[in-house]
Amino acid sequence: MTATFTRWASKYAPRALLAVETRGQPADEAATIRAQGLWFPSIFGEGAADPRGVVDEYRALVAPWGFTPEELSVPVRIFQGSADQLVPEQWGRMLTQRIPHSSDVVSPGEGHFIGVTRREEVLRWLADTGRPTDS
């Protein structure tokens, strides 16, 4: 899909763009994304209109982090869908092995949008992890 068409579709045919962009995703994930409304085609349209934010995100992902995963001292949980077509399940496992105090949660049959499909679980873990513990 060209950037011009994506921008046009996000504005004039967002439901069609949503259908195209969720095709091939696990059924539950596609249904969850569709249930969230038209934010998904909107972000695709914005990214096509001005790709600098997308480029900056990818640059940040591949740039040196300034630390190694082994240096992390806070609890980390990696949420991964086994059907993720962008980030292989092995990547999450490798990070979990390298990061002290980490664990992983693999959701069978779920894809890349685990932050949407499992947001309550992710947010609950974050909220619970940030609470002080009795020592």
Whether 76 and 103 share a structural domain = yes
Q: What is the pLDDT of residue 20?
A: 87
In terms of Cβ atoms closer than 10 Å to its own Cβ (0-12, 13-18, 19+), residue 22 is buried
Compute the average pLDDT of residues 64-77.
94
Asked which of 42, 62, 82 is the last residue of a domain, the reply is 62
Q: What is the pLDDT of residue 5?
A: 87
In a domain, 134, yes or no: no
Total domains in the chain come to 2
Whether 55 and 84 share a structural domain = no
Whether 74 and 53 share a structural domain = no
Whether 73 and 58 share a structural domain = no
Asked which of 62, 94, 111 is the last residue of a domain, the reply is 62
Chain segment 79-113, per-residue pLDDT in tens: 999 999 889 999 999 999 999 999 999 999 888 88
Six-digit token string for 100:
């002290």
Confidence of residue 1 (pLDDT cuts 50, 70, 90): low
Query: In angstroms, what CA-CA distances link 98 with 19, 43, 68, 130, 132?
Result: 38, 33, 9, 22, 25
Rounded CA-CA distance 84/86 in Å is 6
In a domain, 48, yes or no: yes
The answer, yes or no, to whether residue 66 has pLDDT greater than 90, is: yes
Q: What is the pLDDT of residue 133?
A: 59
Domain with 88, as residue range(s), is 69-129
Residues above pLDDT 70, as percent of the chain:
96
Average pLDDT taken over every residue of the chain: 88
Q: What is the pLDDT of residue 79?
A: 95
**Dihedral-angle region of residue 80 (phi above 0 means left; psi in -120 to 50 means alpha; beta otherwise):** beta
In a domain, 116, yes or no: yes
Confidence of residue 135 (pLDDT cuts 50, 70, 90): very low
In a domain, 135, yes or no: no
